[in-house]
Amino acid sequence: MDEHYDTAVIGAGPAGGNAALQAARRGLRVVLLDEQPAPGGQVWRAKSASIIAAPTTPESSAGDALRSALGASEVTLRASTRVWDIRRQAGAWTLQILRDNTSLEITARTLILATGAREYVQPVPGWTTPGVIGLAGATALFKHSLSLPGNRTVVSGTGPLVFYVASEIRRLGGTVAAIVTPNSRADWARAVPAMLGQPKLLARGAVWLADLMLARVPILWGHAVSDVLGTDHVTGVKTRNLRNSLTGTEFAADSLCLGHGLVPNIEAAQMLGVPIRHVASLGGWVPEAEPDGATNVEGLYLSGDGCGIRGAVAAGLQGTLTGARVARDLGKSAPTPSLRQWQRAARFGQAMTALSHPRPEVQALTTQDTIICRCESLRRGDITAEITTGAASANAVKSGLRAGMGPCGGKYCQTAIAGLIAAQMGKAIADVPPPTPRSPLRPLPLGQAVGDFDYDDLPIPKPAPL
């Protein structure tokens, strides 16, 4: 059964959700697609069916507001849906989607990509040990299943997420063994001016920090986890002071939440021909788009963290801008909202991104034996040897070693590999573009993509000349 819409929105987080709402409000027929069973994205992820009742949080409330607004709107929601291919043909977008183990086609005149972000985790020795999960990954557990990563958890990484994760662990009844953050207090002091623009968020952060201090949770500023201990599962972590390289306290723990900022999910935009550029303050490589989401590709719009990490508040505002822009471009009357609010929210988000940046001192904690590409178990020494023997680009390293050819498609190794190439060849990170992205956007069950077919109906073309 094929479906046709004025606009299709991929990603039902703050940006995609608000873009869909705005576009529908302006009279467009909108379909909103998301992998998750309910809208909310990573930041406003909905609770699973396992939760019958639970206290609200700012995230759950914001998510509930979005979900109820979408529920009351004309937006067609296609949840638990994966998009595996996107093409523009005959002036419209054709999306191949997987739903209920079946492949379907959706067409739409315009397309809004609100693909959000994923997490960057800087490799350190032992980071592949079971029990190490991403900081953002931990928040998915908290929001979806209200469950904990373990009984005693070290929380480590950059930016505000360490404090949020530690605080949530305490709220849900867990124990935080320690917080280990490469950021210094001075880093945070520098971010305060930008944070003043979002006083609610600033106040929340202050409560997290005060609570952790009252609870005497060790907070190691300017430190990083240098080794994860344990073979079959995490038993503890070693730490290091990044200023003087001295060994810090060792902590026993059964779990580690580790993360170093967010990275925009740009692959879909890249595959559709949107140029990308490296903007460190936006989280790395970002596709080029107007503030309201318009791109150089006809009928294609981008919104939210997928075009630069500016945070959930900014993403929601940008979603509304994008929805209005699409409506105007399709001949509907829609106001041109002011950019000022979005810009202010973006300043806050970018200050957090700046705190979260991968740092050279943390990158230096890897050893020759540290795994860089998890899918193929490739170690730093494998990657640097390949670079030494002439592989001068991310594509070349990928081709030669399969770094990025595993099931994750390079999502969790390419930032680190680009860093290694840049360091070894004396290039700027902006001169080491990511490898060519490949379809499908997610691993695609072959039988489900193919569906039922009769052999005689396969459109087999004329064979090659003899």
Partner 1 sequence: MTADTAYDIAIIGGGIMGCATALRVAAGGMSVIVLDQGDLGQGASGVNAGTLSLQIKRVKLMPYALKGHHLWAEMGDAVGFAKTGGYTLAFNAREAEMLHERQTLKTQAGAPIEFVSNNRLRAAEPNLTHKVEAASFCPEDGYANAALTGQYYRGRLRDAGIQYREGCKVTAIDRTNGFALTTPQGTIRAKRILLAAGAWLKPLAALLDVDLPVNARVNTVSVTERMPPLISSVIGHATGLLTMKQKVNGTVLIGGGWQGLGTPQDGRGTVNAQTVRPNLALAQYAVPALGAARVTRSWTGFEANVPDFYPLAGALPGVPDAFVLGCVRGGYTIGPYIGQLMGDAILGREPEMPLFDPGRDFEKDMI
Partner 2 sequence: MIRLVANQAAQIRRSEQVTFTFDGMPVEGHSGESLVSALLRAGHLNLRHAPNDNAPRGAFCCMGLCQECAVVIHGQVVEACCTGVAAGLVVGRV
Rounded to a whole number of angstroms, the minimum distance from the CB of residue 444 to partner 2 is 11
Number of residues that bind partner 1 (CB under 8 A): 45
Query: Residue 297 Cβ, how far from partner 1 at the closest point, in Å?
Result: 12
The CA distance from 333 to 348, in Å, is: 31
What residue 463 binds from partner 2, partner 1, none (CB within 5 to 8 A, per partner kind)? partner 1
Are 447 and 406 in contact, with CB atoms under 8 Å apart? no
Select the binding partner of residue 20 from partner 1, partner 2, none (C-beta < 5 to 8 A, by kind): none
- Given partner 2, partner 1, none, residue 146, with its beta carbon under 5 to 8 Å by kind, binds partner 2
Q: Within 10 A of 124 (CB to CB), how many other CB atoms are there?
A: 25
Burial, 269: exposed, middle or buried (Cβ in 10 Å; 0-12, 13-18, 19+)? Answer: buried
Of partner 2, partner 1, none, which one does residue 335 interact with (CB within 5 to 8 Å by kind)?
Answer: none
55 binds partner 1 (CB under 8 A): no
* CA–centroid distance for 364 within its chain: 24
Nearer to partner 1, 163 or 412 (CB): 412
What is the separation of C-alpha 83 from the centre of its chain, rounded to a whole number of angstroms? 16
CB of 208 to partner 1, least distance (A): 39
- Three-state SS at 194: helix
Least distance (Å) from partner 1 to the CB of residue 272?
A: 9
With CB under 5 to 8 Å by kind, the binding choice for 455 among partner 2, partner 1, none is partner 1
> How far is residue 451's CA from residue 268's CA, in Å, rounded to a whole number?
24
Nearer to partner 1, 59 or 386 (CB): 386
Encoded tokens for 253: 């723990």
CB of 409: closest distance to partner 1 in angstroms?
Answer: 7
Radius of gyration of the chain (CA): 23
Nearer Cβ to partner 1, position 128 or 436? Answer: 436
Going by C-beta distance under 8 Å and a sequence separation of 6 or more, which residues neighbour residue 453? none
Partner whose binding site includes residue 96, from partner 2, partner 1, none (CB under 5 to 8 Å by kind):
partner 1
Distance CA 391, CA 378 (A): 15
In sequence order, what are the residues at sequence separation of 6 or more whose Cβ sits closer than 8 angstroms to the Cβ of residue 464?
none
Nearest distance from residue 459's CB to partner 1, in Å? 6
Of 51, 202, 405, 423, the residue at the interface with partner 1 (CB under 8 A) is 405
Segment interacting with partner 1, rule: CB under 8 A, options 165-173, 226-234, 339-347, 432-440: 432-440
The 10 Å CB-count burial string (b at 16+, else e) for 21-55 is bbbbbbebbbbbbbebebbbbbbbbbbeeeeeeee
459 binding partner 1? (CB under 8 A) = yes
Among 392, 422, 423, 429, binds partner 1 (CB under 8 A): 392
Q: Report, in Å, the least distance between residue 375 CB and partner 2.
A: 7
Compute CA distances 462 → 450, 453, 458, 465, 466, whole Å. Answer: 21, 20, 12, 9, 11
Contact 80, 442 (CB under 8 A): no
- Residue 446 binds which one of partner 1, partner 2, none, with CB within 5 to 8 A depending on kind? partner 1
Q: By CB under 8 A, what part of segment 77-106 binds partner 1? A: 84-85, 87, 94, 96, 103
Q: Min. distance of Cβ 365 from partner 1 in angstroms?
A: 28
Q: Which is nearer to partner 1, 337 or 440 (CB)?
A: 440
The answer to the question of residue 199 lying near partner 1 (CB under 8 A) is no
What residues make contact with partner 2 under the rule CB under 8 A? 35, 42, 48-55, 118-119, 121, 128-134, 136-138, 140-141, 144-150, 167, 170-173, 207-208, 210-211, 214-215, 231-234, 255, 374-377, 406-408, 411-412, 442-443, 445
**CA–CA gap between residue 310 and residue 348 (Å, rounded):** 7
Q: Which stretch binds partner 1 (CB under 8 A): 3-11, 210-218, 221-229, 448-456?
A: 448-456
Q: Is 393 in the site for partner 1 (CB under 8 A)?
A: yes
Please name every residue paired with 235 in a beta bridge, in sequence order, or none if there are none: none
Check if the beta carbon of residue 397 is closer than 8 Å to that of residue 421: yes
Q: Are the C-beta atoms of residues 185 and 171 closer than 8 Å to each other?
A: no
Residue 327 Cβ vs partner 2, minimum distance, rounded to whole Å: 30
- Using CA atoms, how far residue 234 sits from 169, 438, 448, in Å, is 17, 34, 37
Residue positions counted in the chain? 466
Three-state helix/strand/coil letters over 220-238:
EECEEEEEEECCCCCCEEE
* CB nearer to partner 1: pick between 257 and 378: 378
Smallest distance from partner 2 to CB 311, Å:
17
Binding footprint of partner 1 on the chain (CB under 8 A): 84-85, 87, 94, 96, 103, 271, 386, 389-393, 395-396, 398-400, 402, 405-407, 409, 436, 438-440, 443-447, 449-450, 453, 455-456, 458-461, 463-466
